[in-house]
């Protein structure tokens, strides 16, 4: 009985799901590869000024990273629900600026790098992960891109990035959650704005260090 | 705690988790989220803006609900914060300026070669760490790498094992071995100078300190030699990673918890692999 069930399952389910999965894997691979390669191309063009380089990198990742979704996920449903419409907009724009800066600064550290691509691996339904390995200064770093299929707009979008196992969503999420345990939403927005302001970074960090919500 | 021999990029292991000995050959973990509570997925299009849940449901299996977010057990947080700030200043005021000066004296390619040499020298740690996890293939790869790089690679200054034979560094250590045996992380601990770790990996570091011929118990070197070589390796490492810690710190609302949580994530991933 069991064996025949298994046989039926193997005959029916497996081939039916294998083909789309293969197509998904191919799409995910091409999205990640072309994005990473385009970023590398920009980074390797040393003739560009820092500002131009940054803008070009961000232009590449903008359509691929679902930054609005990432912002919501870091806050989580519980905290997100506490924001009114204006605050949601403000949070989104501050978060997106933070993440763009952060991603660019990380990626910009790799000056002499080459990148190897692993095969995409399926996650939960509709999600894939693809590991890229950056070789830099004799070391190798794992950068895992996590993508979901955007059924609304079509195509694959990045919803999280893990650097050596450290998830962007989790890390920022834990920080915001910690702050909101004791702090308020306007307080968080003010703090993010303060962090976002370029220049005088040290003073801002110092000033805010004391106020940080202790766990 | 001062007797700990920091094999792992010390100060930096603390903070620079991005870099800390991370040259591992990680396989993509297929079930990387399996430890998270898996929730049933409603048939709402992922990321859909419409609908009451605004697309959260599709991701809560992975990231969990914030209300359910488990708090990090951090009984030493008072001490840890103080030590974090001490290490922060030590890095910014002492280690970093020294490393920058050192970096001016020795050009980067030379420092990369030295870093490889230190990595090669730490082979026993990876070999034993892999063995503790029953990773016999990794042990073999590490042994092969050590033999090839120590000879053809001129003491490990070059990496022909990877370049010619495709043998990639296996990023294993004793703490991961303990983790594989089911030892929990205990709680976060910030060590002086060495930086962020946890009880389990701290014990791993102590065990690992015996996995170098430079440990004075073997009579080949005294403490000052041991410490000098270790410190040299650290400065060399830091000189190749100036600016990384600063960027991580800048990202964080609360640098101590940011680094603590990131370190936990990083170690969990490495144990899982």
Q: Decide if B4 contacts B17 (C-beta within 8 A).
A: no
Specify the pLDDT at position B237. 93
Q: Hey, of B29, B45, B46, which one would you mutate to test binding to chain A, going by the most A CBs within 10 A of its CB?
A: B46
Average pLDDT over residues B155-172: 94
CA atoms within 13 Å, Cβ hemisphere of B13 = 24
Q: What is the pLDDT of residue B48?
A: 42
Has residue B260 got a pLDDT over 70? yes
Choose the mutation target among A64, A105, A139, A149 for the interface with B, i.e. most B CBs under 10 Å: A139
Lowest mean pLDDT of A11-25, A160-174, A193-207, B36-50, name the range: B36-50
Interval A26-38: pLDDT, tens? 999 999 999 999 9
pLDDT, one tens digit per residue, over B196-227 is 999 999 999 999 999 999 999 998 999 999 99
In this prediction, residue A110 carries a pLDDT of 67
Helix (H) or strand (E) holding B191: strand B188-191
Best interface-test mutation with A: which of B49, B59, B76 has the largest number of A CBs within 10 A?
Answer: B59
Under 8 Å between Cβ of A67 and A99: yes
Q: Is A166 on the interface with B (CB under 8 A)?
A: yes
Q: What is the dihedral of CA B65, B67, B73, B77, to 10 degrees?
A: 120
Window from A2-11, A24-33, B155-164 with minimum mean pLDDT: A2-11
- Lowest mean pLDDT, pick from A156-160, B19-23, B65-69, B249-253: B19-23
Please give the pLDDT value at position A19: 65
Mean pLDDT, residues B191-197: 94
| Per-residue confidence band for A78, with pLDDT thresholds at 50, 70 and 90 | confident
- B89-105, pLDDT tens digit by residue? 999 999 999 999 999 99
- A100 shares contact with chain B (CB less than 8 Å): no
Residue of B25, B26, B47 lying closest to A69 (CB–CB): B47
Asked if B26's CB is within 8 angstroms of A142's CB, the reply is yes
CA torsion, points B156, B160, B161, B167, in degrees to nearest 10? Answer: 120
User: Residue A167: its chain B contacts at CB < 8 A?
Assistant: 265
Q: In angstroms, how far is CA B219 from the centroid of its own chain?
A: 29
Mean pLDDT of B109-131: 96
Task: Compare CB distances from B265 to A72, A106, A170 and report the shortest one's residue.
Answer: A170
pLDDT-derived band at B80, boundaries 50, 70, 90: very high
0.90 exceeded by pTM: no
Inter-chain CB proximity B46 and A140 less than 8 Å? no
pLDDT in tens, B58-73: 887 788 755 445 678 9
Beta carbons within 8 Å of B242's beta carbon, 6+ residues apart: B96, B99, B100, B103
**Which chain B residues contact residue A72 at CB under 8 A?**
54-56
Distance from CA of A209 to the nearest CA of B (A): 7
Task: Report the pLDDT averaged over residues A41-58.
Answer: 87
Q: Which residues of A touch B119 (CB under 8 A)?
A: 138
Asked if residue A214 has pLDDT above 60, the reply is no
According to the 3-state scheme, what is the secondary structure of chain A?
Answer: CHHHHHHHHHHHHHHHHHHHHHHHHHHHHHHHHHHHHHHHHHHHCCCCCHHHHHHHHHHHHCCCECHHHHHHHHHHHHHHCCCCHHHHHHHHHHHHHHHHHHHHHHHHHCCCCEEEECCCEECCCCEEEEEEEEEECCEEEEEEEEEEECCCCCCEEEEEEEECCEEHHHHHHHHHHHHHHHCCHHHHHHHHHHHHCCCCHHHHHHHHHCCCCCC
Percent above pLDDT 90 for chain B: 68
Q: What ipTM does this complex have?
A: 0.77
Q: Which residues contact B77 (CB under 8 A, 6 or more apart)?
A: A214, A215, B188
For residue A210, the model assigns a pLDDT of 40
Decide if B76 touches A, using CB distance below 8 A.
Answer: no
The size of the A-B interface in CB pairs under 8 A is 177
| Closest chain A C-alpha to B118 CA, distance in angstroms | 12
Q: Does B36 touch chain A if contact means CB atoms closer than 8 Å?
A: no
Taking the CA of residue A69 and the nearest CA in chain B, the distance in Å comes to 7
DSSP state letter for B171:
-
DSSP structure class, residue B220: S
pLDDT of residue A111: 65
Cβ atoms of A106 and A81 closer than 8 Å:
no
The C-alpha of B157 sits at a distance from chain A's nearest C-alpha, in angstroms, of 10
How much is the average pLDDT of A176-183?
91
**pLDDT tens digit string along A115-146?**
899 999 998 888 999 999 988 877 888 999 99
């Amino acid at each position: 009985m069991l064996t025949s069930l298994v046989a039926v399952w193997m005959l029916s389910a497996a081939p039916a799901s294998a083909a789309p999965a293969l197509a998904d894997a191919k799409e995910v691979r091409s999205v990640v590869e072309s994005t990473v390669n385009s970023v590398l191309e920009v980074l390797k063009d040393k003739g560009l000024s820092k500002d131009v380089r940054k803008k070009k990198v961000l232009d590449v990742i903008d359509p691929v990273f679902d930054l609005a979704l990432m912002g919501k996920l870091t806050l989580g449903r519980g905290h997100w629900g506490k924001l009114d419409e204006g605050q949601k907009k403000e949070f989104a724009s501050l978060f997106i600026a933070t993440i763009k800066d952060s991603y660019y600064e990380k990626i910009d550290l790799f000056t002499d790098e080459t990148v190897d691509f692993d095969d995409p691996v399926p996650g939960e339904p509709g999600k894939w992960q693809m590991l890229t390995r950056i070789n830099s200064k004799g070391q190798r770093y794992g950068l895992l891109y996590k993508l979901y299929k955007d059924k609304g707009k079509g195509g694959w979008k990045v919803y999280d990035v893990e650097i050596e196992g450290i998830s962007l969503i989790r890390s920022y999420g834990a920080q915001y959650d910690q702050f909101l345990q004791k702090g308020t939403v306007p307080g968080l927005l003010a703090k993010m704005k303060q962090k976002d302001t370029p220049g005088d970074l040290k003073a801002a960090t110092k000033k805010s260090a004391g106020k940080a919500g202790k766990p | 705690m001062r007797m700990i021999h920091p094999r792992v990029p010390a100060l930096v292991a603390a903070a620079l988790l991005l870099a800390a000995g991370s040259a591992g050959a990680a396989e993509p973990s297929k079930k990387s989220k399996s430890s998270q509570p898996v929730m049933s997925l409603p048939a709402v299009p992922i990321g859909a803006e419409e609908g009451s849940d605004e697309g959260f449901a599709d991701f809560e299996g992975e990231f969990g609900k914030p209300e359910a977010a488990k708090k990090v057990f951090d009984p030493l947080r008072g001490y840890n914060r103080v030590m974090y700030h001490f290490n922060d200043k030590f890095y910014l005021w002492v280690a970093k300026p020294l490393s920058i000066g050192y970096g001016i004296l020795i050009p980067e390619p030379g420092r990369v070669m030295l870093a490889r040499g230190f990595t090669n020298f730490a082979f026993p740690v990876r070999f034993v760490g892999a063995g503790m996890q029953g990773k016999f293939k990794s042990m073999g790869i590490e042994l092969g790498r050590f033999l090839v790089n120590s000879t053809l690679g001129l003491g490990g200054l070059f990496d022909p094992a990877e370049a010619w034979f495709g043998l990639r560094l296996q990023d294993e250590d004793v703490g991961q071995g303990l983790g594989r045996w089911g030892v929990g992380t205990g709680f976060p601990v910030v060590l002086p100078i060495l930086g962020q770790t946890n009880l389990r990996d701290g014990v791993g570091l102590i065990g690992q300190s015996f996995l170098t011929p430079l440990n004075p118990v073997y009579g080949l070197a005294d403490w000052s030699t041991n410490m000098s070589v270790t410190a040299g390796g650290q400065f060399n490492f830091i000189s190749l990673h100036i600016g990384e810690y600063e960027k991580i710190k800048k990202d964080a609302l609360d640098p101590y918890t940011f680094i603590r949580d990131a370190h936990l994530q990083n170690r969990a991933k490495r144990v899982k692999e």
